């Protein structure tokens, strides 16, 4: 696999108009473990079996700098001794330019239609292998394999075992096996993800490679890695699982997978939070932490950050008083003057429950009731962590909204005025 990936990199670096062109195997924009492994494994399979001039390359459908947010992907790469430096990312190969020059064909794995930003590439899609709801128009020039299995990696494994079992080595088997086990929630029927075909091919891999890590341990390790934020800086932690709500104020709610105490101890935290707010144009940040006690019960805490005392106090007060649901916020001491911190007694109130309260707050701040929501507004979308292999709602392509210094100044003076009015 390393040799194959190195040759792909060399080919991309040497890319010229005169070359034979690229057959790109592309996963979805969430670039979760399934999309990454399906692209790597299927491209490898095609490179060994396809009889075409074109160079087959797997492409991760995120920018290289976003890989750090996919801690489970990084964990699996490390576990299978694959360096992330060998991977090719969306910002390293200009698909549009290749397409313009007639040098591109595409195989889609783990999704079956291209997002609107890439829809002009539909004409060069030559094959699809996926496990999402079929949204693709049938076409004679593009064979489509869509089956509602737990993991797209199951379909890739099936193809390899049926057509080229000799290319399976321990490394490739482990990549595929780990993905199936992760997507199928440790093959537990109760989780409702696993199908007979997933079990069949997981068992086939176990049978061929007796040295694969034990299923339960592998699942737990990947699951832990998904929530491991130890390698992330403050900005990355905030971006990892963030939603944006905008009205007269711009507000972000980030879920953090650490205890609030641990987060509040980060060096220069307030300076980092204000830099974050300036960079992305936020007036207020709501930080919701989730951690687990020894009996695996969730512990939730909540904090509000804003450089404006008025904004911070008003939102904090609003959350304290919110009737539906009652959050049972109990103030805890914060070492930072601009951060109000709470234990959240109602540990069932996830961000899904807190978001409407925050929207109500913004509505009350804004006589016009103009609220924008990160789900409805493509412009303000930021990449949430994919919790499963669904591509929907996991955009990494649109980047972040661009905000000029002038916009910011206006925003802040408006914010102060608005908050001061009350």
* Bridge-based pairing state of the strands 298-305 and 339-344: antiparallel
Min separation Cβ 66 and Mn ion, Å: 18
Neighbours of 206 (CB within 10 A): 14
Min separation Cβ 386 and Mn ion, Å: 9
Min separation Cβ 111 and Mn ion, Å: 8
CB nearer to Mn ion: pick between 34 and 241? 34
CB nearer to Mn ion: pick between 110 and 241? 110
Give the range of 107-115, 199-207, 256-264, 341-349 binding Mn ion by CB under 5 A: 107-115
Q: Does 389 bind Mn ion (CB under 5 A)?
A: yes
Q: Is 386 exposed, middle or buried (0-12, 13-18, 19+ CB in 10 A)?
A: buried
Min separation Cβ 261 and Mn ion, Å: 35
Min separation Cβ 218 and Mn ion, Å: 17
Instruction: Report the C-alpha gap between 291 and 262 in whole angstroms.
Output: 11
Min separation Cβ 389 and Mn ion, Å: 3
Min separation Cβ 336 and Mn ion, Å: 40
Q: Does 61 bind Mn ion (CB under 5 A)?
A: no
Buried residues in 366-382 as b, exposed as e (16+ CB within 10 A): eeeeebeebeeeeebbb
Q: Binding pattern to Mn ion, positions 128-167, x when CB under 5 A?
A: ------------------------x---------------
CB nearer to Mn ion: pick between 152 and 212? 152
CB nearer to Mn ion: pick between 152 and 322? 152
Q: Which residues contact 226 (CB under 8 A, 6 or more apart)?
A: 71, 72, 385
Among 176, 174, 194, which residue's Cα sits nearest to residue 184? 194
Give the range of 110-118, 163-171, 192-200, 317-325 binding Mn ion by CB under 5 A: 110-118
Min separation Cβ 36 and Mn ion, Å: 10
CB nearer to Mn ion: pick between 198 and 301? 198
CB nearer to Mn ion: pick between 29 and 34? 34
CB nearer to Mn ion: pick between 175 and 232? 175
Place of tokens 């009737």: 323
Buried residues in 153-192 as b, exposed as e (16+ CB within 10 A): bbbbbbbbbeeeeebbeeebbbbbbbbbbbbbbbbeeeee
CB nearer to Mn ion: pick between 34 and 283? 34
Give the range of 2-10, 106-114, 136-144, 297-305 binding Mn ion by CB under 5 A: 106-114
Query: Residue 123 region, left (φ>0) first, then alpha (ψ -120 to 50), else beta?
Result: alpha
Instruction: Report the C-alpha gap between 138 and 406 in whole angstroms.
Output: 49
- Total number of residues binding Mn ion (CB under 5 A)? 4
Is 254 in contact with 290 (CB distance < 8 Å)? Answer: no
Min separation Cβ 150 and Mn ion, Å: 8
Give the range of 55-63, 108-116, 161-169, 235-243 binding Mn ion by CB under 5 A: 108-116
Buried residues in 301-335 as b, exposed as e (16+ CB within 10 A): bbbbbbbbeebbebbbebbeebeeeebebeeeebe
- Interface residues for Mn ion in 19-48 (CB under 5 A)? 34
Which residue of the chain is nearest Mn ion when measured via CB? Answer: 389
Give the range of 11-19, 275-283, 382-390, 408-416 binding Mn ion by CB under 5 A: 382-390
Min separation Cβ 86 and Mn ion, Å: 22
49 three-class SS: helix
Is 344 in contact with 319 (CB distance < 8 Å)? Answer: no
Q: Sheet holding 104-109: strands in order across?
A: 55-59, 22-26, 104-109, 125-130, 144-146
Paired tokens of 107: 């195989």
Q: Does 110 bind Mn ion (CB under 5 A)?
A: yes
CB nearer to Mn ion: pick between 110 and 283? 110
Per CB under 5 A, residues contacting Mn ion are: 34, 110, 152, 389
């Amino acid at each position: 696999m390393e040799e194959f990936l190195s040759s792909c990199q060399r080919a991309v670096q040497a890319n010229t108009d005169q070359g034979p062109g690229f057959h790109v195997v592309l996963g979805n924009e969430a670039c979760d473990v399934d999309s990454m492994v399906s692209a790597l494994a299927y491209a490898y399979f095609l490179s060994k079996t396809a009889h075409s001039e074109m160079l087959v390359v797997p492409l991760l459908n995120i920018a290289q700098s976003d890989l750090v947010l996919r801690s489970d992907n990084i964990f699996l790469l490390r576990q299978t001794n694959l360096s992330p430096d060998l991977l090719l990312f969306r910002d390293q190969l200009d698909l549009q330019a290749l397409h313009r020059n007639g040098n591109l064909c595409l195989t889609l794995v783990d999704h079956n239609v291209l997002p609107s930003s890439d829809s002009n590439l539909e004409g060069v899609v030559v094959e699809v292998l996926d496990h999402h709801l079929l949204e693709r128009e049938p076409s004679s020039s593009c064979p489509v394999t869509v089956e509602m299995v737990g993991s797209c990696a199951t379909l890739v494994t099936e193809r390899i075992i049926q057509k080229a079992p000799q290319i399976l080595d321990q490394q490739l088997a482990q990549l595929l096996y780990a993905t199936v086990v992760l997507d199928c929630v440790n093959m537990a029927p109760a989780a409702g993800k696993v199908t007979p075909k997933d079990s069949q091919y997981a068992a086939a891999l176990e049978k061929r490679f007796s040295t694969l890590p034990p299923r339960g341990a592998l699942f737990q390790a990947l699951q832990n890695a998904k929530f491991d934020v130890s390698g992330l800086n403050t900005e990355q932690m905030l971006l990892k699982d963030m939603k944006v709500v905008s009205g007269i104020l711009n507000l972000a709610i980030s879920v953090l997978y650490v205890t609030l105490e641990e987060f509040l101890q980060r060096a220069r935290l307030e300076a980092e939070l204000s830099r974050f707010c300036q960079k992305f144009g936020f007036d207020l940040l709501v930080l919701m932490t989730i951690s687990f006690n020894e009996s695996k019960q969730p512990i939730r805490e909540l904090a509000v950050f804003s450089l404006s005392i008025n904004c911070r106090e008003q939102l904090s007060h609003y959350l304290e008083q919110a009737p539906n649901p009652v959050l049972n916020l109990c103030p805890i001491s914060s070492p930072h003057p601009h951060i109000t911190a709470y234990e959240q007694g109602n540990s069932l109130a996830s961000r899904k429950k807190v978001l409407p309260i925050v929207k109500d707050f913004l509505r009350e701040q804004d006589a016009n009731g103009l609220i924008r929501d990160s789900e409805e507004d493509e412009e303000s979308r930021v990449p949430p962590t994919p919790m499963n292999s669904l591509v929907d709602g996991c955009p990494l392509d649109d980047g972040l909204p661009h905000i000029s210094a002038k916009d910011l100044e206006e925003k802040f003076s408006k914010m102060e005025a608005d908050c001061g009015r009350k």
